[in-house]
Amino acid sequence: MTKIPLFMIHNDDEDAKAVDAIIRSGREWSSGRIISEFERGIAEYIGVKHCVCFNSGGTALNALMMALGIRPHEQVQVPSFTFIATAFAPLYVGASSRFIDIEEKRLGLDPAEVRKGLGGIPGR
């Protein structure tokens, strides 16, 4: 049996000190100058005009559902091996989640299963 880690954290003392400084700054941990600088730095690094940070993956997925225009009664394919927020995201906008198996090598959605899943969605 293969053990699959749910997550791996890669950080060092410098990262911990930076996070500590932001938390101790008061409100800067959720908005303000430090967050704006961080968003600009990410946008510049990946070569895009804008970047928006969220307080959690769940709120980012909620915003994604709205940005994509996912509507009530639509179905969104989500990986079967995931955190609960992934499956809940479509529910926030009235859609439903359809679990799709992952591939063993990369632990991401299995493209063959995604194609099969699309065949079961009305209008596809």
Q: What is the pLDDT of residues 13-72, one digit of tens each?
A: 999 998 888 888 877 777 788 889 999 999 999 999 999 999 889 999 999 999 999 999
Q: Let me know whether 47 and 60 are in one domain.
A: no
Q: Let me know whether 46 and 59 are in one domain.
A: no
Average pLDDT over residues 79-100: 92
Q: Let me know whether 19 and 59 are in one domain.
A: no
Domain coverage including residue 113:
55-124
**Is residue 119 pLDDT above 80, yes or no?**
no
CB 98 within 8 A of CB 77: yes
- Number of domains making up the chain: 2
**Confidence band, pLDDT 50/70/90 cuts, at residue 108:** confident
- In sequence order, what are the beta bridge partners of 98? 77
CB 78 within 8 A of CB 96: no
Average pLDDT over residues 78-107: 90
Q: Let me know whether 61 and 120 are in one domain.
A: yes
- pLDDT (0 to 100) of residue 45: 97
* Residue 6 placed within a domain: no
Cβ burial 55-93 (10 Å sphere, 16+ → b, else e):
eeebeebbeebeeeebeeebbbbbbeeeeebbbebbebb
* Residue 4 placed within a domain: no
**Is residue 114 pLDDT above 60, yes or no?**
yes
Q: Which residue has the higher pLDDT, 14 or 83?
A: 14
- pLDDT (0 to 100) of residue 106: 81
Tell which of 22, 53, 84 closes a domain.
53
The pTM of the full predicted model, rounded to 2 decimals, is 0.71
3-state secondary structure at position 96: strand
- pLDDT (0 to 100) of residue 122: 55
Calculate the CA 101 to chain-centre distance.
Answer: 18
Closest CA to 109 of 76, 68, 74, 80: 80
How far is 82 from 91, CA to CA, in rounded Å?
Answer: 15
